Every structure is written in structure tokens, then in C-alpha cells.
Structure 1
Amino acid sequence: MSSNATDLTTGFIASIVAIVLFGSNFVPLKKYETGDGMFLQWVLCAAIWLVALVVNLILHCPKFWPFAMVGGCIWATGNIAVVPIIKTIGLGLGILIWGSFNALTGWASSRFGWFGMDAEEVAKPVLNYIGAGLSVVSAFIFLFIKSEIPNNTYSVDTTPLISEHVINKTQDPDPDCSWVDKLSTAQSHLVGCSLAVISGILYGSTFVPIIYIKDHSKRNDSIYAGASQNDLDYVFAHFSGIFLTSTVYFLAYCVAMKNNPKLHPEAVLPVVVLPGVWTFLERYVVGERVCVSGFLSGVLWAIATCCWFIANRSLSAVVSFPIITAGPGFIATMWGVFMFKEIQGRKNYLLMMLAFCIILTGALCTAFSKI
């Protein structure tokens, strides 16, 4: 098998893995009460950093570029809104909306050379513009899809999974109630869609520092001269930016809450009441109540992002970016439709399928415009 064929095979396999994991990594958050999401996002980011540490050691600790951390800061800022988005408009619709704006932002920044990056030239510019335009159209269609989120969003059955173990309880009659839970139906849809748009724009900008370093590494007069062209070499710096920023946000949150944050231990890791490995397996793996956590969500996201970096190197970003940003929406929607029953009704189904077909067509147009 030729080197080019090997790169293509590696790139497409990595893309498929990234799509499945990106579309499923927030599923664990649906099973447990997550409060306002600030503590949960910090745990998720801690798991991300641990995966980066392992990858860094496997790669024999490549040179650390602090500027690559900026992309992690941008991503962590967008990630703060994930829990409110899931609680207001649902997992499937949330990922579809932020995925559309993620794709559009990432395409525009690389196509036109925003933020000091080298502009990407494409063989078929008309096809490229059509793909970007279809992404915009699909994003607006998603805004009209109505999601039905039950009051108890953290369980797919009627058995409450979180009845106790809430740390730092106050005299509030409903200590688990966050600001998201107090919104009306109309307000929830507006807030959820708005946050998904903002998160998508931030997510689409997260690779800008890494691409900037790689572009300027080819210039002898740049401070990044000689920097690696392997995207995985920037994983540790990128993920360190994520963890550092999420820690700062969580500390600020604790100060704002007067050191009385809403913490839900069972949304993080299972509490093993009795000692022994079998007790753990029997209660959390073999039993009906399988324990999932924010830590698992972070690990899945980190692995997916590493696969994305591999796809960028094997296929080039202009091919992998539209594919990987379009695919997770379909996976997440399947979770939302078949497991969580978030999207119901013939009208919503038709709008969803129309929007997905449009964004898939747009992603393919954008990808093939380079070939």
C-alpha cells in the first residue's frame, strides 16, 4: 500500500472515530443531575488534561509552545455553556447548532486567512463557497426545530438517580435548582440556541493558534521557525490551556457563589459504598444503573480531538474539518431522538432531516473543493 493510500486510510478512520466520540461524549451528562454545570465542566477538563499528559509522554514530550494554549482557552470558554445548552434545547439540537457555526467559523478563518493565518487556496472556489453557504442555511433551519426536554433531564426513566449526596446544601427549598431550570419554555429555546451559536463560533476558532504556529514555522524570521508540523505535538499545550482556563472559571464561580457551589459527586465518579472490585462491578456495571460521569465525557472528548489532529495531518484541515464538524450532529441527533426523546413530531423530524441533508451536502462540497 502506498504512503498516500495509507495516509488516506488513517485519516478517514480517525475521522470516523472522532465523529462517533464527539457525537456521544456528552451522553453521560444526560444520566445525572449536573446543576449549573460549572463543577461538571471543571471535572471534564481535568480528564481532558490527563489524556493529554499520557499523549505527551507517548510522544516523548515535544517542545511546548505556550501560544497553543490560547486555543484551549477559547474552547474552555465555549464549553462553559454546554450544560445549559443540553438542559434547554437538548443534546441533539445543541450539537447540530454549534456544529454548524463551528464548521462555518473554522472554514472562514482558514479560507480567508483570518487572525494572521495563511489563506487556504482551493481548486474549486465556487464549490467551496456553496458548501459554506449551505452550512449557514442549515444553521437557521436548526433554530426552528422544537425540542422537548422533560423536567427531569438527567434520567431516561422515572427512577430518580440523584436523591441525596448534594454537597454544601443551603436553606433553599430546592437546592439543586439552577438558573436554567427557572426559564420558561420560550426563554429556554432562545437561551439554548443563542448559547449554542456562541459556543460554535468559539469552537471554530480553537485551532487558530496551532495553525498559526504551523504556518509561521516555515518563516525563518518568525519566533516559531522550525516548529513541528505534526498536530499531535501541540495536544499537551492545547489541553493545558483548557484545564487552566476551566480552573480559573471554576474559582471565579466559587467566589461568586460565596464558596457555596452546587456540587454533585455522582455526576463525577461513582461512590463505592462497600469495598471490593466485585461490589463496584455489580452495582455500577452489571446492574441497571450504569454509572457514567463527567470524567468519562472528558476522556471521550480528548480521544476524539486527538483523532481530529491525526485526521488534520493525514487529510489536511480543509478536508477533515467540514467532515468532522458535520458528522457528530447526526450521531447526537440519533441519541436525542431514539434514547432521550428530545425531538418529536413529524414537522420536527422533517426539518431535522432537511437540515442534516443540507449540512452534509455543504460539508461534502467544502471537502471536494480542495480535491
Structure 2
Amino acid sequence: MEHNNNGTDLTAGLISSAVAVVLFGSNFVPVKKFDTGDGMFLQWILCAAIWTVSLVVNLLLHCPKFWPLAMLGGCVWATGNITVVPIVKTIGLGLGLLIWGSFNSLTGWASSRFGWFGMDPEDISRPLLNYIGAGLSVIRQSTALRLMAWIIYGPKTFLNYKTEYCCVLAVTSGILYGCSFVPIIYIKDHGKRNDSIYAGSSQYDLDYVFAHFSGIFVTSTLYFLAYCMIMKNNPKVYPQAILPGFFSGVLWAIASCCWLIANHSLSAVVSFPIITAGPGIIAAMWGIFVFKEIKGIKNYLLITLAFCIILAGALATAFSKVEMNNQQMAAVINQTPLI
């Protein structure tokens, strides 16, 4: 399947991105009210659910060819995810999410834009718009990061060895997250070359979801077994978190499938700034309207400002890749089919 860069392709990419943003911002809601302990058992349950979803998708796609290299991306993601446990315990989910989200966005965008790790650099019709969109994404997250660090830790107590260590872990986690799709894109790019072992490989990103998610499950299982050994076969298991954790993993897996569809429809250089910037706002909405964690006019105004920045960045990024005439633009806006 090729990138058509027409109104239908753009619409599919934006809808997939929107669904991914909503689900990524909501996937931890099911487990919020349950004790998950040190998180090691929960992450293994999450990854079991992720693999289950990929199995269903693989069957629906009639079992496309399995490329083992795509598993490497899952291994990279699971390694980044394992660092979340100490990060959340030390600096909290909100602050950790902002740090690793920023570096996830930058790494994923830059590697696709400039062709790192052996990938082909992405051609952009409107480079300035793409740079603006990526910049607005980072500005939103970095501004929120400074505000949250100040509120939680204060101007003097933020820097200490534990928070510094976990901030470094969060940066590392974000970079690993941002590299997780590299093997898939690498296979696709080299699939266009007749002299490559990947010649003829699928150009549809979702065809690699089973291999990618299998890498996640295998790696997380190995980490969990190592954890059980360290705990002398007495891991902290929380049965009440199993069903909520599984459902949480299903939400994450569906979001990631939508991300892969967005990568295909828009390209990774467009989808990364959009999808990595939005979940924080969705999580904030849950905190405002459901859990009542965020209150006050000032906080509401800050969130509204952040939403406006994200929206502006998403639109700039989305339209940086496409070239449309007036008829196609009208079709996207009006959601009507092109003649």
C-alpha cells in the first residue's frame, strides 16, 4: 500500500491519531483505584493483554509474514517500560510522563525526519510547518514539566540524587519509546530495495503488529522472571489488579494499532508529534471531570492553553506532509468523498 497523500488518507490518519491519543490518555484509568504494588506484576499483565490483541489483529489480517527484526522494537519498548516502575515511585506518573513523552516525541520525529538508524529520511512538502508542529509539541511538554516540577518539589528541593537519577531514567525511557518503531520502518524502507533481504516486505505498518507485540511480551516475561528470581520466588502479586490491568493493556494495544495506521497514512514524522503530545491533556481531563484531582481557574486556564498549543501543533504537523488542491481540502473539511 502506498501513501496517496489525498483527502481520504489524511482523514484516516487523523482519525487514527485521535483514537490513539484518547486511548493512550485513558489506558491507566481502569487500574487507578487498585493497588498495583511495585508495578512489575501489572506490567506483565499489561503485556499479556497487548500480545492477545496482536494475535487477534494478526488473524484478521490473515497472518502476514512474520519478520523477527520487528520483535526488536517490542524489546526496546519493553525495556523502556520497565524503567517506569522506579520513575513513577520517585517522581510520579505525571512528571515522568512529561519527561519521557518529550523525548519520545523528539526521538521518533527526528529519526524519521532525518533517516537515523538506516531508515530513509522522510520527504516533507512543507518542512517549516513540520518543524513548527514538532516544536510546539516539545514546548507544551517542557512548559508543563517546569510547572509541575515547581509545584510538586518547589524551587529548591527538586534537584537531589533520587530525582536526578529518575529524571535520567525517564529521558532514557523516552528515547527507547521513540525508537520502538524503528525496526518496522527499517524493514519497510529496505523492502523497496531489490538487493535487500527484506525485498518485497509489506508497506502496511499494521502487518508487523504481531511481531512487534510478541517482542514486547517475550521481553516483559523475561524481566518478570528475573524479578521473581530477585524476589526469591515470592513476587508481589495483586489479584484484584488482573482484570483491570488486562483491560488497560487492551486499550494500550488498540491505541498502538491506531498509531501504526497513522504511521502508514501520515508517516511517522507526522504522527509522532501529534500522538505523543495529546495523551497528557486527555489524562488531565480525567483528573478534572472524573477524579477531581485538578481544580482551580488557573489550572483550567493552563490546561486550555496547553490544549490550544497541542491543537496548533497537530494541525501544523498534519498539513506539513500533504499537498492538496482546493477540492481535496474541501473534501477533508466537509468529510465528503472526492469525485
Q: Shorter-chain TM-score: what band?
A: 0.7 to 0.9
Q: Report the counterpart of residue 310 of structure 1 in structure 2.
A: 261
- Aligned match of 2:330: none
For the pair 1:200 / 2:174, whether they are aligned, the reply is yes
**2:212 maps to 1:246:** no
State the TM-score, normalized to the length of structure 1.
0.75
Quote the offset at 1:335 in angstroms.
Answer: 1.6
- Assess, with a 3 A threshold, how the Cα gap between structure 1 residues 191 and 34 changes in structure 2: closer, same or farther: farther
Contact 1:146 1:343 in 2 (8 A): no
Q: Give the equivalent residue in structure 2 for 1:365.
A: 316
Map 1:1-371 to 2 at 5 A.
4-88=6-90, 90-146=92-148, 193-269=167-243, 293-343=244-294, 351-371=302-322
Letter in 1 for 2:68: P
In the TM superposition, residue 186 of structure 1 has moved relative to its aligned partner by 7.5
Q: Distance in 2 between matches of 1:103 and 1:87?
A: 23
Offset at residue 353 of structure 1 (A): 4.5
Q: Shift of the alpha carbon at 1:300?
A: 0.7
SS of 2:36's equivalent in the other structure is: coil
The letter for the 2-side match of 1:59 is: L
Q: Distance in 2 between matches of 1:56 and 1:10?
A: 20
- Give the conservation status (yes or no) of the 8 Å contact 1:91–1:332: no
- 1:324 counterpart letter in structure 2: I
> Are the structure 2 counterparts of residues 21 and 246 from structure 1 closer, same or farther at C-alpha, using a change threshold of 3 Å?
same
How many angstroms apart in 2 are the aligned matches of 1:65 and 1:123? 31
Displacement, 1:329? 1.7
Q: Please, which moves more after superposition, 353-362 or 73-82?
A: 353-362
Structure 1 runs not aligned, ≥5 long = 150-183, 270-292
In structure 2, C-alpha distance between the alignment counterparts of 1:326 and 1:75, rounded to whole Å: 18
Contact 1:318 1:367 in 2 (8 A): no
Residue 329 of structure 2 corresponds to none
Q: Distance in 2 between matches of 1:139 and 1:201?
A: 15
Q: Distance in 1 between matches of 2:96 and 2:59?
A: 34
What TM-score do the two structures reach when normalised by structure 2? 0.82
Q: 1:213 touches 1:227 (CA, 8 Å); kept in 2?
A: yes
Q: In the TM superposition, what is the alpha-carbon distance from 1:204 to its structure 2 partner?
A: 1.2
Over 3 Å counting, the alpha-carbon distance change for 1:201 and 1:357 in structure 2 is: farther
Supply the RMSD in Å over aligned alpha carbons.
2.8
CA contact (8 A) 2:28 2:248 kept: yes
- Please give the per-residue CA displacement for 1:164-202, whole angstroms capped at 9, x wherever unaligned: xxxxxxxxxxxxxxxxxxxx9977865665544332222
Q: For residues 257 and 213 of structure 2, what CA distance do their matches in structure 1 show?
A: 10
Q: How far apart, CA to CA, are the structure 1 residues paired with 2:263 and 2:215?
A: 20
1:214·1:229 contact (CA, 8 Å) conserved in 2?
yes
Q: How far does residue 344 in structure 1 lie from its aligned partner after superposition? A: 5.1
Distance in 2, Cα, partners of 1:26 & 1:64? 30
Cα distance in 1, alignment partners of residues 307 and 172 from structure 2:
20
* Separation in 2, partners of 1:186, 1:323: 30
Relative to structure 1, the CA distance from residue 16 to residue 294 in structure 2 (aligned partners, 3 Å threshold; closer, same or farther) is: same
Return the offset for 1:341.
4.4
The offset of 1:357, in angstroms, is 3.9
What is the CA distance between 1:349 and its match in structure 2?
A: 5.1
Q: Which has the higher helix share?
A: 2
Give 1:222's aligned amino acid.
S
Residue 140 to residue 197, structure 1, CA distance change in 2 (3 Å)? same
Displacement of 1:131: 3.0
Structure 1 residues 91 and 346, CA gap change in structure 2 (3 angstroms): farther
One-letter amino acid of the structure 1 residue matched with residue 312 of structure 2: T
Change in CA separation of 1:366 and 1:9 when aligned onto 2, cut-off 3 Å: closer
| 8 Å Cα contact 2:108-2:268 kept in structure 1 | no
> Cα offset for 1:122?
1.3
Cα separation, 2, equivalents of 1:333 and 1:80: 24
The 1:324/1:137 distance shift into structure 2, 3 A limit, reads closer
Are the structure 2 counterparts of residues 349 and 192 from structure 1 closer, same or farther at C-alpha, using a change threshold of 3 Å? Answer: farther
Q: Taking structure 1 as reference, are residues 58 and 65 closer, same or farther at Cα in structure 2, changes over 3 Å only?
A: same
Q: CA deviation at 1:227?
A: 0.4
How high is the sequence identity, in percent, across the aligned residues?
Answer: 75
Whole-angstrom CA distance in 2 between matches of 1:346 and 1:297: 31
Equivalent pairs counted in the alignment come to 313
Give the match's secondary structure for 2:148: coil
